[in-house]
Amino acid sequence: MTKGSVGKVTTQFVDILEGLELEGGSRLQHLRIAYETYGTLNRDRSNGILVCHALSGDAHAAGVSDEDGRNGWWEIAIGPGKAFDTDRYFVICSNVLGGCKGTTGPSSTDPATGKPYGISFPVVTIRDMVAAQKRLIDNLGIRHLFAVAGGSMGAMQVLQWCVDFPEMVRKAVVIATSAASTAQQIAFNEVGRRAIMADPAWQDGNYYGAREPVHGLAVARMVGHITYLSDDSMHSKFGRRLQVREQPGFDFSTEFQVESYLRHQGDAFTRRFDANSYLYITKAIDYFDLARDGSLITGLAPVKAKVLVVGITSDWLYPPYQQQEIVSALTANEQDVHYGEIRSHYGHDAFLLEAGQLNYLVGTFLSTSLVRDVMVPDAPTIPEETSVAAAAKMMIRLEVNHLPVHDGGDRLTGIVTSWDIAKAVACGLDRLDEIITRNVITALADDPIEEAAHLMEAHAISALPVVDAGKKVIGIITSDAISTLIGRCP
């Protein structure tokens, strides 16, 4: 276990009994989601970060798996003191819909037949994957995510989150991806799929319980893995060096080191991944296209999150110009977007390898926070012409300790707390306007978090209504949310 690790972790499961409607028109009657969490969810449930994995990933993003001892696939970025600091954030990662690591996919049992779905599993999309994740987040009782983050296919999910659930996402980290799969990317995926389907053991997807199409899957992985590297990294690591002999053998054995490396990658992949899942996930990537009516600007118009887009200089699978297209579209919409680059010769895989640059870019983006980043938007309010009993019932029902009070038109006139309600009951007071605090300390959405924390500390209060220029209440921020993110005690 390395320094900064979250330690041993156990994969958890949740069953979504109502099933899931899919974009293609089919319906899954039952959905199981595998997920892991790291860190602690704060009292306001405002510090959640959803991490989305790429094609070959799974729910095990960090720490040491208590099942097989593996380190998480994003161990370099998740943990105490890292970009996704588990001393501050509650990090969640789930296996995607259609996967083979615990979430419902083609290798899962079809309730209708009692056998694995195989190729009868419905085709899924990135939007379907995000819809499944939304069910998980709802199940965890989280109304707003502090951030959603991912690289490659994971970043496609991030963008889809920002479009489909804009009110839920405060910050978004989009790394090494595209807003739509290009012809070249689709072509590589198709070669991989055909390699699997050409394997005699594939048996039209019904190979479960028999010999699996490991040869086809290995070739698919070899082709895919080449796209994750760069010419510089392959030259540096392998060049034209031979594996075990000093001179060419003039035969078709595995001679070059790069050949041996690719075969190893292919063989290792077949021991942890399902061939049918590879078909389904790559197809979902191919279908991904956020443009609407031919316009990416229109497609990204719903985004409300503050977005960090990161490119990789040597990535030829998702070259930087594709991330810059996302930035341009968001900028055209006057949305809050920042661009950064990882300078690396590792190619597409750099977001899994360049720990220093990644932690700096993402960590700085996440930790530079304004009040709007952690406030609870659309916070419940109450008109001042309300009874104490009605206010008490509202607090109990919504499980809140503070209610901003308005004049009937959402303009802030005061605030009432659960302590105020308790005093009113003890004193036999019936009207809310007899107990509210009129001189209310407030915050603006664009105030730095540190400024809000200073106000709370100076006035010994635990919540601040967030208002706009017209004193209309647009949210509330609590000391619990602030203390989690900047390390202050309430």
CA pair distance 405, 419, nearest whole angstrom: 15
| 14 and 49 both lie in a single domain | yes
| 67 and 169 both lie in a single domain | yes
Question: Is pLDDT of 490 > 50?
Answer: no
Question: Is pLDDT of 480 > 80?
Answer: no
Residue 2 lies in a domain: no
pLDDT bin (cut points 50, 70, 90) of residue 2 is low
Residue 3 lies in a domain: no
Residue 1 lies in a domain: no
**Domain final residue, candidates 230, 256, 275:** 275
| 251 and 286 both lie in a single domain | no
Residue 178 lies in a domain: yes
Question: Is pLDDT of 161 > 90?
Answer: yes
Q: Give 364-410 pLDDT, tens digit per residue.
A: 999 867 888 778 887 888 898 889 999 999 999 988 888 899 888 77
CATH number of the structural domain spanning residue 352: 3.40.50.1820
Question: Is pLDDT of 481 > 80?
Answer: no
% residues pLDDT > 90 (the chain): 74
| 153 and 292 both lie in a single domain | yes
Higher pLDDT pick, 293 / 398: 293
pLDDT bin (cut points 50, 70, 90) of residue 488 is very low
The residues annotated with a catalytic role in the active site are 152, 315, 348
CATH number of the structural domain spanning residue 223: 1.10.1740.110
CA pair distance 415, 255, nearest whole angstrom: 75
Q: Give 17-60 pLDDT, tens digit per residue.
A: 999 999 999 999 999 999 999 999 998 899 999 999 999 999 99
Mean pLDDT of the chain: 93
Residue 78 lies in a domain: yes
pLDDT bin (cut points 50, 70, 90) of residue 483 is low
Give the residue from 398, 400, 384, 362 showing the smallest Cα distance to 477. Answer: 400
Range of the domain at 251: 183-275
